[in-house]
Amino acid sequence: MEALEKTLQRVARLTAILYNESCTNGDCAGFEVVLFPNGEDPTLAPHDLPPLTSKEAIRNLTEMQKRAYYQGYYPGGYDQNEERTARICEAIGIRL
């Protein structure tokens, strides 16, 4: 059962990324929330981050929220402050 749950999480993650890539301006229908690679939803506890449903939502993230998103999408990755926004966008399938 655990294997099935992990597979469904991966499918949900990839589907959200593909949807976001297809939404060229991001504000047309809103982006889908992309799960972290471990299957956790960044908008739910314990993370409680704002949903990244538009380019404006991404631009409005605080530095602490950007760091949390970055660490969630790139666990153990080298965190460079100036690259966080671009890497977060990359992780959810969009470009600013």
Cα dihedral sign for 57, 49, 79, 31?
negative
Domains of the chain, by residue range, sit at 2-92
**Could you give the CA distance from residue 4 to residue 52 in angstroms, rounded to a whole number?**
27
For residue 39, give every residue at least 6 positions away whose Cβ sits within 8 Å of its Cβ, in sequence order, or none. 5, 6, 9, 10, 13
What token pair was written down for 24?
């060229």
User: Which pTM does this prediction carry?
Assistant: 0.89
**Each residue's pLDDT tens digit, 82-95:** 789 999 999 999 98
- Per-residue model confidence as pLDDT tens digits over 23-52: 865 456 789 999 999 999 999 999 999 999
